[in-house]
Amino acid sequence: NFLNNLKHLQKLVLRSCKFKYTPEFKQPHNQLKYLDLHNCRLIISDAEMFAGLKCLAFLDLAENDVGNVFPELFRELKQLEVLKLRTSISDKLIKLRVNNAFTHLSNLRELHCGAFEFEGRTLFSPLKSLQKLTIEGSKLRKSTIDSIPRVRELRFSDNSCIFIDKTMFSKKHPNLESLDLSRMNLAKVNQHIDVKAFSGLKSLKSLNLAYNRINFINEKMLINLESLESLDLSVSQRTFVIELNSSTLKSMKNLKVLKLKANILRLHGDCFKPLVQLRELDLSDVKMKSSRDIDVFKYLQGIEKLNLKNLAANFQLKIYKLAKLIHLKELCLNIQSDEVQ
């Protein structure tokens, strides 16, 4: 209650504080714009807890037990722009079934949530101003994903596997700029992910498929991604060989960052030729295979950051040709190969 006297307070950070009693913000605090209650281990059951914070723009409730007091908990937070909701309960998911859970948050621009089981068919529909949505460690259903309004950034990292069809993102989110599907346990193409799942995302700049088990990559998966600047395929599959040639990456003319860490790659000599804008390449822990000696570095003339840590190859690596990469600013080199020049 000491806050009642701090009428001019605009930002309040109580991160990781341990409270004997759950704090209340029922009295008017019209100046408070930013409230951080991250990891306070609160059990929030009072739907009127934030009734006095009508001007609040940022609220972090991550690592607390928010239970299921929606939508009343946010009734007065009509100016809220950023909300973080990841629960502290790690051994079970909080079921969020209420279709009108976010009814009062029409101005929300960023939503971060995790450890939920989403079931509402119109759950995210009221969030007309949403630009960035992060859902981690949760159980997703396609009907819930379909309720997400048009956004520019989607992060679905570390969620239970769903089938990614060719219309899930391209039809609903044509202006999507960033998509994170890392750690989703995606494996076989056409079983967990449609081969044309990303083909309509012409505005996409960043695609993260790291730490899945994708069994192959071909040009159909990466077609029409002319705007893509960053592609992460790290640790895709250690039992399947991913084949890379110029046709696989032919639409990647604006790609600046390519991460292929810990994959088994079969490379063709011209595989990096289309990547004229490439500035960063991660080949760490990669096993490279080729039926003949190739010059891996031939088409990397503009590269600035190159990671070759623990790189292994079954052909002769001509390391001396790195001297031609005159724009190189950062180099990590620890080659595991019997033949190095």
For the segment 77-127, what is each residue's pLDDT rounded down to a tens digit?
999 999 998 875 555 566 665 567 788 999 999 999 888 877 667 788 889
Note if the pTM is more than 0.85. Answer: yes
Residue 263 has pLDDT above 70, yes or no: yes
pLDDT of residue 338: 55
Containing 231, the helix (H) or strand (E) segment is strand 230-232
- Record the tokens describing residue 262, joined without a space: 């810990």
pLDDT of residue 52: 92
Residue 339 has pLDDT above 60, yes or no: no
Residue with tokens 């390391």: 319
**68, 65, 61, 71: which is closest to 38 by C-alpha?**
61
**Cβ–Cβ < 8 Å for 58, 37:** no
Cα 240 to Cα 91, 237, 270, 276, 286, distances in angstroms: 33, 6, 21, 28, 13
Question: Which amino acid would we find at residue 17?
Answer: C
Coil, strand or helix: which one is 82?
strand
Using CA atoms, how far apart are residues 279 and 324, in angstroms rounded to an integer? 15
How confident is the model over 301-312, as a mean pLDDT?
A: 93
Residue 57 has pLDDT above 60, yes or no: yes
pLDDT of residue 76: 93
pLDDT of residue 83: 96
Using CA atoms, how far apart are residues 38 and 329, in angstroms rounded to an integer? 38
Show the CA angle centred on residue 272, arms to residues 229 and 315, nearest 5°: 140
pLDDT of residue 15: 93
Residue 269 has pLDDT above 60, yes or no: yes
Supply φ then ψ for residue 190, to 5 degrees. Answer: 75, -5
How confident is the model over 262-274, as a mean pLDDT?
A: 87
What does pLDDT average to over the chain? 85
**Cβ–Cβ < 8 Å for 228, 199:** no
